[in-house]
Amino acid sequence: MNETRLRFEVVVVGAGPAGLAAACAAAENGCRTALVDDTPWLGGQIWRGQQAHPANPKAARWVERFRRAKASLLDQCTVLGPADRRTLLAEHPDGPRQIEWERLILAAGARELFLPFPGWTLPGNFGPGGLQSLAKHGWPVAGKRIVLAGSGPLLLAVGGGLRKMGASIVSINEQAPLSRLISFATGLLAWPAKLAQAARLKWTLRGTPFRCGVWPVGAEGGEQLRAVTLSDGRRQWMEACDLLACGFGLVPNVELPLALGCQLDDEFVRVDPWQASSVAGVYAAGELTGIGGADAALVEGEIAGLAASGKEEAARRLMARRAAWRRFGADLGAAFALREEVARLAAAETVVCRCEDVRFDRMKSFAGWRDAKLQTRCGMGSCQGRVCGAAARVLFGWGMESVRPPVLPARVESLCADFLTDQSPVRK
């Protein structure tokens, strides 16, 4: 669509599993629906590439269902924030867009959590998901020695994928203790598909050391990472590598919900049984409401899409399934909860805000995020606090106090668009 002003009954932001499911449910029930995403593909980060190479049958089924539902796809369209109470301002390569909605479903997903430690800014450090994304797009990893560290099932999934691409996986190091992982694995007996998936990944990674209760304490190198120092709390050792893929789980992308006025519970968007947020007409689904994986996101997205379409009874029939996946998400969170040691890895001179080059010793002298931003500019660089803000929550217990649009870097053209002051009717 080339129109700069667009109007829909239901607008879904985010084309991952939750957004796909929400858009399908709304469109199939007669609502004029748009699915908005800043990428040129469907499926989000978790199902990236499924349109061109549909290796995941579930992803392929949902992509095909979306095509049959005939919802509008506004791809390569980055939502910058609310233009007014019922309108989003978005940016497309062809120019700015104004998207008016009657009901809005937020499915913006999550991003990796990075925690600073000495050497974490050396070239050669990546998030596991980030490295996987680069490799899928052709960045060469064949023959590279890669250490994976941090926390969460993503370590195994990324390790298996990189090994298939020819990488040499030196080791996988999970910070959670073995006792918690054994308990979680025992619980997977109730989820045979998940258990089979884990078994396949372990087989793919056979011969690769997988350690529990181990975390990185330093990265070594001059202009390029050459080794990583690991610890189990009793001793430390160094492993030579070309790349380190380190991430400590996921944090939700709550910037847009906060800009719209949605209330949070802890770090997640607060929703009622219908996935409705505290703001009238605004729903949230997927990782925004709790980290639980693609299956939980799908059922939450369907409930949100049905509720936004006025199909409460159909939505109600899915609530038992959602409750089961939420129990799985709770077990997942308990198993991979961060240990206290990983919040104490930064040395005084360790850079926490990479965009503005703000060190740990400078940030810890402030009482909160707002004070630190005013005095040091931390969180005011190109990532807009997405890396250092999430880290500061773990390091200092700071919460995000406010969000102002644009929630992502934007062109001046988009912020000066004529329609932001033009009172002419929105095109139907």
Look at residue 426 and tell me whether its pLDDT is greater than 50: no
Least-confidence region, from 49-53, 126-130, 203-207, 219-223: 49-53
Structural domain includes residue 306: yes
Sheet strand arrangement including 145-151: 125-126, 243-248, 145-151, 168-174, 210-212
360 and 303 share one domain = no
Q: What is the mean pLDDT of residues 391-419?
A: 84
CB-based burial of residue 387 (10 Å sphere; 0-12 exposed, 13-18 middle, 19+ buried)? buried
Domain assignment present for 241: yes
Shared domain for 352 and 326, answered yes or no, is no
Residue 424 lies in a domain: no
The answer to whether residue 51 is domain-embedded is yes
> Higher model confidence: residue 323 or residue 423?
323
Q: Is residue 361 part of a domain?
A: yes
User: Could you give the CA distance from residue 384 to residue 388 in angstroms, rounded to a whole number?
Assistant: 9
pLDDT at 199 over 50: yes
One domain for residues 324 and 374: no
In a domain, 403, yes or no: no
Residues 269 and 360 in one domain: no
In the prediction, which pLDDT does 48 show?
75
- Give the pLDDT band of residue 423 (cuts 50, 70, 90): very low
The answer on 32 and 21 residing in a single domain is yes
Residues 142 and 222 reside in one and the same domain: yes
Of the ranges 77-81, 199-203, 346-350, which one carries the lowest mean pLDDT score? 199-203
Distance CA 320, CA 367 (A): 43
User: What is the structure's pLDDT at 399?
Assistant: 82
* Residues 329 and 345 placed together within one structural domain of the fold: no
Confidence at 410, pLDDT banded by 50, 70, 90: confident
- Degrees (nearest 5) of the Cα angle 77, 78, 83? 110
pLDDT band at 229 (very low <50, low <70, confident <90, very high): very high
Distance CA 15, CA 371 (A): 35
End-to-end CA distance of the chain: 12
Nearest partner of 355 among 386, 327, 332, 325, judged by Cα: 386
What is the pLDDT, as a whole number, of residue 146?
98
Q: What is the pLDDT of residues 2-60, one digit of tens each?
A: 578 999 999 999 999 999 999 999 999 999 999 999 998 898 888 876 554 456 888 98
Per residue in 272-294, pLDDT (tens digit) is 999 999 999 999 999 999 999 99
| The model's pTM | 0.93
Q: Is residue 411 part of a domain?
A: no
Output phi, psi for 324, to 5 deg.
-65, -45
Q: Do 356 and 244 fall within a single domain?
A: no
- Does residue 299 sit within a domain? yes
CA distance 321 to 318: 5
Contact 176, 150 (CB under 8 A): no
At 275 the pLDDT is 98
| Count of domains forming the chain | 3
Give the distance, in angstroms, between the CA of residue 370 and the centroid of all CA atoms in the same chain. Answer: 24
pLDDT classification of 424: cutoffs 50, 70, 90: very low
The CATH number of the domain where 156 resides is what? 3.50.50.60
Nearest-angstrom CA–CA distance, 110 and 254: 8
Instruction: Give the domain range for residue 379.
Output: 340-396
Residue 113 neighbours by CB under 8 Å, 6+ apart = 247, 248, 249, 250, 251, 390, 391, 394
